[in-house]
Structure 1
Amino acid sequence: MSDLRQAAKNGEAFDMDTGLPLSMLKAESARSWLEFARAYVKARWPHAAAKSREGLTDTMTAVTLALLKDAPGRPDASLLRVLLRQYVFVAEERRPDISPDLGRALRWLETASMPITALDEPRLARSALEVLALQLDGQPAAASTFRRKRAVFKHALGYAVELGDLASNPLDRVKWRPPKQNGAVDRRVVVNPAQARELLTAVSYVGRSRGPRLRAMFACMYFAGLRPAEAAGLRRQDCELPATGWGLITLKKTRPQSNKRYTDSGETFDDRGLKHREDDIVHPVPIPPELVTILREHVDTFGTADDGRLFVTSSGASFSGSAYAQVWKRARVLALTPDQVESPLAARPYDLRHAAVSLWLNAGVHAPEAAERAGHGVDVMLRVYAKCVDGQRDVANQRIEDALAA
């Protein structure tokens, strides 16, 4: 009754047949957020990479849980999250058989989901953004994570406008200051060449075969600046490895790891085109003689998979991200001092790529050339990677001291 009085007070027009104000009539006829979100995911799914599908599912799950009525019999939040991530927001062919508990939760969810028009109220649109800005434990999400999820949410609302579910994008009316993010690499993670070589040597001592098989993969990240997914997908036919001098890697595919429910193949690895490039674009990367030698020795020792992939297990399977992360963790203990192990120095394999690009820039390689080798734009290169390598500060201090004494 209070809503009717408020509508009359605001001077709203009423529908003659139902006696409802037009705003309430629109809400009555609008489809639910859940119904729209399922349609949106279905439309986006065929055109998205596995990692993008995973991010899409995470975002729509968080927003859906924020747009629920306070209905009786609400299931546990963790059960609803499993239902949305593993059943509702995945392709039909990837859905498991639904259990009785999840079936009951789905029926509740379908009745409790707010109409999509509820987002016309800025308060609700803001509450959805606030959910995206937090991790599950309530801690603030990284700025990059929030920006990525906000972009998905805004695109979804734009799709709702396109379909006529909303008159305009609600986020355009919400004043929100996103967390600041400069994207710069922390210089403390970047190793110098001596440290990099010590780490690569240490990798070869981890385990009976896993470490030796992964040494050349890590070497590609350091000497060629490859992303882990690019190195994982590297094939022998993509490499020119002369007996002397510089070689060449021609990148054609990446092999990112994701949950099998997000990949087209149903496997945990997804063969995709290169990041930031069209599917049919290749990316040539010159490689120094030291890496050429490492790769030649790797091929001589371990051979390749049937499809030419270089970095596989003894049975020809791909190494999981957790497997090579564990090898790297153990190698750090072998190669670094206790203080360095506790520091951010080369904490992740990806930090080898940061070290590679920082080395190129500090060596005087022009930014456009370094950007081309790394597969980035020049603006990103200068903003993110132009960092000194570990151990360079004393050199810089000495140069400044010499200049002041002149």
Structure 2
Amino acid sequence: MIPDVTLRRSRQAHIATPRLETPFHARIAALDETNDWYSWAGYKAAHSVFDEELEYFAIRSTAALFDISPMVKYRISGPDAERYLNRLTLRDVAKLKAHRVQYTAWCDDHGHVLDDGTLFRLAPDTFRLCCQERHLPWLLDSAIGFDVEIAEETTEIAGLALQGPTSFAVLANAGFDGIEQLKPFQIAEFSHDDTRVTISRTGFTGDLGYELFVPAGAALSLWDRLWMAGRNLGIRAIGYAALNRTRIEAGFIVANADFMTAEAALRADRARLPDEIGLDWLVDAEKPFFNGRHAILEARRNQSLKYILVGLEIEGNIPAEGAIVYHRKKHEAGLVSAAIWSPLAKRNIAIATLERPYGSRIVDDLWVEIYASRELQYQKMMKRATIVPRPFIKLDRRTATPPGLF
């Protein structure tokens, strides 16, 4: 029999199990002033580093470094890699050329979205799939009959997002010659120490930006190289809170925040088809086979889609995070999943899921119910909401090639 004291300590150790530290943790911890950490896929990640608002303005005004190492990464390779991924994902992978990236999503057999992410074609038969959740069992089951190798490389590959108007200047200063030729969603490899760093012109901010992937052992030297190159260009380390503000401005969605993934949904009616979360444009209906194809196209034919994801502009300046959306102030129409007052757009914006026909056939007389704290007392406000296109902001510098030196 295990002594009570041993059992107690075992339970406490289980509760106190520390989160993993990313390869960049030492540098971020040295800069940290807020001690504001959260758990991302089992890793200790910064929610903020020094000030959430100033970190947001670093993204929009200079350059910001965000640690994306916890992002789940799979390497998929082999003679059937393209054919396998074409069967798995919504888009036509045959159209994805080597050294290019595409945003995509994948579904179960019922057409419900399992996750979204980015697919990097590193070579003709080699891909990297990056996503929010872990899907190795699903990927392996889906690979039956295909000549492919699938391996998770999350711990082996460190990742950094370098975003903002001076991000190109930082990379140029750091000696990445030829970086000015990189177009949006293009990949290139560069020398770094005794290894190679893969740089893609991608990001989650709607701004000029890049993502860098390097073997974990070279992570700190890469950070130092960028930090030194950006010291006169306003480079700052940031946390997720600031990044989240910019992704809302860009109209991007987050799995299990703006929609529930099919594997995470506890109730069957919480799962979503691509068309119900604004990802209908990803679906290549010309492909003969892909997971969920029949269910997705059947819902379109039968007009049985139940939900729609929309952008909202809300009167006033109080963010409507988590607010219920009403029609004519009395009929519940949906829920706001993400909202901010946008400093760049100078608008109160939100992303919301509405239950059809609201948002599709009925688009007028929409309201949100906001509860704002006023001197330790909540005040209920009904604010008018207008459906508007996403993204809420568009920055020319995001796609300009070569990028400008700001």
More strand by share: 2
Tell me the TM-score normalised to structure 1 length. 0.25
Give the structure with the higher percent helix. 1
Scaled by the length of structure 2, the TM-score of the pair is 0.25
Greater Cα radius of gyration, structure 1 or 2: 1
